[in-house]
């Protein structure tokens, strides 16, 4: 098409559609006279992810660029090859040594390429690529955006474990990242993966002086890979940190890594610090419940289970009640209490947590030893609970009970002879509604296949069902703002319709009709996201439509980005999230449709259960 704008938009649209049939039309655009169109074509070819695009992208790279006029295009080519290329290309990209520290975009493209290779296929790991990323992280002259992606690679790529020498370099990179807390946070993760003596030496030193809450959280998580006896004291100090994200991370450390010899200590810490945030108390009680037994610690064990039940019955916060059920499930004999109180709770979030807690009991590796002679009866009762869930038709509970019907469940419910259960499951699926209950439908299809001894079916495709309200979009401009009012302050958002018009139109429609008013932040993951917009409050809800994923030339490279939550491409609905920091691993997978204009400090304060009192739109 002669229209430059149309060519550009058409080329970029395939970053979201990801149709291999478009490759033949996109390849010629790599030679388009307009660079923005070439960039859009290269980006989309990367998103499509077909090996057929690799050589075309390599051929389009402009090697002779002494004036650096084509760095944006070349950087996009590098990233795209990372999404579709072979090991040979990875080796070639890792071997690049000609980029100067001023070549910000090329260095960023190189790092993104190496990261995408690893994320796409964990078997495609090259030692030279890992060493390149280590060297970049340790070199303060390398631009921070590239160092951040390099650190992400080291922190998240499966199969990558920095050795002792590399850990020393990473430690230097940590010290040299004085003004880059997000970079330090990722280096902390990478040091944790190392598990080496130099890595522990660095972490044990900096955790005592670190001031940024995000970095503290990652340092605490990193200590989980080292000896508990040497990490325990360092983490225990963080239970007194003034930031709730940090105290939650410290308490979670003891849930995940605690030892029986400290079980009574966890109990006493929770019992004797009634002024601590309730989630911290619950986590410590959970750590105690996990590590104490009635045989040797009967007083503490009985007391903590009583206290958890008291917190559950007195709390008005459904997420605290949900956490209590998970803590109670660490003692399997609480199964009937969890069923009685969890299933009858008014909150969908608590019902869902009760289901998850019961499934955790079912999947205990020591199930038969834990229940002893009563095991057969408990197995039958738990199975009956699953039948009750399915018959009830609650989509969140059905989604959560699905893992009970898999080869990972040692109770092997497929062996229980029950001629009516398949009929019940099929009837239950009939009560679910597509696309509103997409996740539950997918999981129930897997359950039926498991019970029939068949392989899991392919994930169903949701037909396009929700057009963009272009009339509403006519009044959206650069000055349009959305304000989220909370008890902790206001979060003001700017929207990016140029990258995600469907998501922006949907968000404004929901905000303008008061849909978001009173909705809780049902999911808060420290140093990751805060998430809201679920009509059920448990993360499984939506309205009866879905949106298409919209991927533009924007990246999760900064705090405060506004993204659409989803369970896969083209499954978005009403739920959205705001990032605590750069979340590079979300790039190309989740729609970005705006950012926080003011109120990032409020975003950092939000905890699970905090409510959006009112959401307003200003044009």
Q: For 547-586, write each residue's pLDDT tens digit.
A: 999 999 999 999 999 999 999 999 999 999 999 999 999 9
- Separation of first and last alpha carbons in the chain: 34
Cα dist. 523→128, 532, 577, 580 in Å?
38, 7, 9, 13
Lowest mean pLDDT segment, chosen from 7-16, 291-300, 379-388, 492-501: 291-300
Give the side-chain half-sphere CA count within 13 A for 277. Answer: 23
Output the six-digit token pair for 266.
């966890």
Residues 6+ apart with CB under 8 A from 147: 136, 137, 139, 173, 177, 180, 183
The band of 354, judged by pLDDT with boundaries at 50, 70 and 90, is very high
Whose CA is closest to 136, among 154, 122, 119?
154
Task: Copy the structure tokens of residue 164.
Answer: 């002792």
Per the omega criterion (within 30 degrees of 0), is the bond before 440 cis? no
What average pLDDT does range 134-152 have in this prediction?
Answer: 98
Phi, psi of 294 (to 5 degrees): -75, -20
Computed over every residue of the chain, the mean pLDDT equals: 96
Residue 417 has pLDDT above 80, yes or no: no
Backbone angles phi, psi at 615, to 5 degrees: -125, 120
Rounded Cα gap, residues 401 and 383, in angstroms: 10
Mean pLDDT along residues 190-200: 98
What's the confidence (pLDDT) of residue 67? Answer: 84
In the chain, % of residues over pLDDT 90: 93
Q: Say how far apart CA 5 and CA 498 lie, in whole Å.
A: 12
Provide the token pair at 135.
């060297």
Taking residues 384-392, report their average pLDDT.
Answer: 95
Q: Is 428 exposed, middle or buried (0-12, 13-18, 19+ CB in 10 A)?
A: buried
State the pLDDT at residue 419: 61
Q: H/E/C letters for each residue in 195-209?
A: CCHHHHHHHHHHCCC
pLDDT of residue 423: 85
DSSP state of 97: -
pLDDT tens digits, one per residue of 97-128: 999 999 999 999 999 999 999 999 888 899 99
Alpha-carbon torsion (135, 138, 142, 147), positive or negative = positive
pLDDT given at position 132: 99
Helix and strand element counts for the chain (H, E): 30, 8
Residues 6+ apart with CB under 8 A from 52: 20, 23
Count how many Cα atoms sit within 13 Å of the Cα of residue 376 in the half-sphere of its side chain: 2
What is the C-alpha separation between 155 and 159, in angstroms, rounded? 10
* pLDDT (mean) for 194-207: 98
Please, which residues bridge with residue 562 across strands? 578, 594
Q: Of 23, 123, 16, 116, which Cα lies nearest the Cα of 76? A: 116
Which pLDDT value is given to residue 426? Answer: 87
433 touches 544 (CB < 8 A): yes
Residues with Cβ within 8 Å of 439's Cβ and at least 6 positions away in sequence, in order, are 395, 399, 540, 567, 571
Tokens read off for 274: 């009634």
Q: Pick the closest to residue 215 from 178, 255, 254, 251 (CA basis).
A: 178
Concatenating the DSSP letter of every residue in 326-377 gives HHHTTSGGGHHHIIIIIHT-S-HHHHHHHHHHHHHHHT-TTHHHHHGGGHHH
Q: Tokens 């002792």 belong to which residue?
A: 164
Categorize the per-residue pLDDT at 420 as very low, low, confident or very high, splitting at 50, 70 and 90: low
Compute CA distances 449 → 47, 411, 441, 458, whole Å: 31, 17, 12, 11
Per-residue burial over 554-566, b if 16 or more Cβ lie within 10 Å, else e, is bbbbbbbbbbbbb
- Mean pLDDT of the 441-467 span: 92
Cβ atoms 61, 30 nearer than 8 A: no
Choose between 249 and 294: higher pLDDT.
249
Q: What is the mean pLDDT of residues 52-72?
A: 95
Give the gyration radius of the chain's Cα atoms.
26
Q: What is the pTM of this model?
A: 0.97
- Model confidence at 424, in pLDDT bands (50, 70, 90)? confident
Phi first, then psi, for residue 576 (nearest 5°) are -135, 165
Instruction: Give residue 415's pLDDT.
Output: 86
CB within 8 A of 93, min separation 6: which ones? 78, 81, 82, 110, 113, 114, 129
Structure tokens at 202: 């660095």
Rounded to whole angstroms, how far apart are CA atoms 519 and 532? 7
In which element (H, E) is residue 490 found? strand 489-495
Query: What is the model's pLDDT at position 425?
Result: 87
> Tell me: the pLDDT tens digits for 276-297?
999 999 999 999 999 998 877 7
């Amino acid at each position: 098409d002669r229209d430059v704008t149309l060519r550009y938009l058409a080329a970029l649209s395939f970053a979201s559609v990801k149709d291999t049939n478009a490759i033949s039309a996109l390849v010629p655009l790599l030679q388009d006279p307009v660079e923005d169109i070439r960039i859009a074509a290269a980006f989309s070819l990367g998103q499509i992810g077909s090996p057929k695009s690799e050589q075309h992208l390599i051929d389009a790279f402009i090697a002779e660029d002494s004036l650096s006029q084509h760095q944006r295009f070349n950087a996009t080519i590098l990233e795209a090859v990372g999404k579709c290329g072979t090991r040979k290309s990875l080796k070639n990209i890792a071997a690049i040594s000609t980029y100067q520290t001023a070549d910000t975009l090329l260095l960023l493209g190189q790092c993104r390429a190496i990261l995408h290779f690893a994320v796409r296929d964990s078997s495609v790991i090259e030692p030279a690529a890992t060493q390149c990323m280590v060297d970049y992280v340790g070199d303060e002259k390398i631009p921070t955006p590239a160092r951040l992606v390099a650190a992400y690679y080291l922190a998240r790529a499966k199969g990558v474990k920095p050795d002792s020498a590399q850990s020393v370099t990473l430690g230097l990179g940590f010290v040299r990242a004085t003004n880059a807390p997000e970079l330090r946070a990722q280096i902390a993760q990478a040091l944790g993966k190392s598990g080496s003596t130099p890595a522990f030496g660095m972490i044990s030193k900096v955790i005592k002086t670190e001031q940024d809450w995000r970095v503290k959280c990652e340092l605490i998580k990193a200590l989980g890979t080292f000896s508990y006896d040497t990490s325990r004291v360092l983490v225990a100090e963080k239970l007194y940190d003034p930031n709730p994200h940090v105290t939650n991370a410290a308490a979670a450390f003891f849930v995940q890594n605690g030892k029986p010899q400290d079980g009574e200590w966890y109990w006493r810490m929770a019992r004797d610090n009634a002024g601590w945030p309730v989630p911290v108390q619950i986590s410590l009680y959970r750590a105690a419940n996990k590590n104490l037994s009635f045989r040797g610690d009967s007083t503490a064990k009985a007391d903590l289970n009583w206290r958890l039940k008291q917190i559950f019955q007195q709390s008005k916060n459904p997420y605290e009640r949900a956490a209590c059920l998970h803590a109670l499930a660490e003692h399997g004999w609480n199964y009937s209490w969890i069923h009685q109180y969890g299933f009858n709770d008014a909150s969908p979030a608590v019902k869902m947590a009760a289901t998850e807690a019961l499934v955790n009991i079912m999947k205990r590796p020591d199930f038969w030893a834990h229940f002893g002679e009563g095991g057969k009866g408990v197995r039958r009762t738990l199975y009956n609970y699953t039948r009750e869930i399915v018959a009830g038709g609650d989509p969140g509970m059905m989604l959560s009970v699905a893992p009970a019907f898999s080869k990972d469940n040692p109770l092997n419910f497929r062996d229980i002879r029950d001629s009516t259960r398949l009929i019940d499951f099929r009837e239950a699926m009939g009560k679910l509604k597509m696309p509103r209950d997409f996740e539950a439908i997918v999981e129930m299809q897997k359950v039926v296949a498991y019970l029939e001894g068949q392989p899991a079916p392919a994930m169903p495709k949701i037909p396009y069902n929700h057009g963009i309200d272009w009339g509403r979009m006519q009044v959206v401009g650069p000055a349009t703002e959305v304000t989220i009012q909370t008890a902790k302050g206001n979060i003001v958002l700017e929207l990016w319709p140029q990258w995600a018009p469907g998501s922006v139109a949907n968000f404004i429609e929901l905000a303008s009709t008061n849909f978001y008013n009173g909705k809780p932040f049902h999911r808060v993951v420290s140093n990751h996201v805060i998430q809201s917009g679920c009509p059920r409050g448990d993360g499984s809800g939506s309205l009866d439509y879905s949106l298409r994923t919209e991927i533009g030339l924007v990246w999760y490279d900064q705090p405060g980005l506004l993204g659409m939550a989803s369970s896969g491409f083209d499954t978005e609905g009403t739920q959205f999230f705001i990032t605590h920091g750069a979340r590079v691993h979300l790039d190309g997978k989740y729609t970005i449709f705006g950012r926080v204009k003011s109120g990032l400090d409020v975003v950092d304060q939000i905890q699970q259960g905090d409510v959006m009192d009112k959401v307003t739109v200003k044009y």
